[in-house]
Amino acid sequence: MFYCAKENKYIVEQTPFTIDGTGYPADWLNHASVQDKETLGLVEVTYEGTREDDRFYWVTENRNGAVISYTNSPKDLDALKKQWLASTNQAAYSLLVQSDWMVVKAMETSTTVPADWSTYRAAVRSAAQTAVTAINAAADVPALQAAIQVTWPNDPNYVAQ
């Protein structure tokens, strides 16, 4: 992205733009020399600081000429915990529901669920419980971000590509 001070506007690559009444095609920035850009008064935008994950932070972009910085304010921790607890439980449900028929069949026919599937189902529940415990224990947003990194097990039919 470039900034044009004399018109106080930002110009995004691959977008047509107008400066001093002259129109430029979308690919002009890609083909223009550094001197061509300087002649028009274009300065490449620089970024200061980091833009945090907007699932966890309210992010405000602060534009000051050719410099863009960010203000990151954490969202409400309790609301985030509630959201991620629900998401974790939904993910576990989605993984388990695919093999629920085996459990029903085993109960109806007085047989057993194949051992590899029982192990898998237990691992899904364990991964979910570990995540739930970590989410509940998170004291701040960065701790919550770490807590939601769940490694779900592969089902017994999974074949690596």
pLDDT at 143: 97
Sequence-distant (6+) residues with CB within 8 A of 125 are: 92, 96
Beta strands in 65-148 (DSSP E): 67-74
Rg of the chain over CA atoms, in angstroms? 26
Phi/psi at 128 (5° precision): -65, -45
Model-level pTM?
Answer: 0.77
pLDDT at 161: 77
Q: Which residues of the chain have pLDDT under 50?
A: none
pLDDT at 86: 98
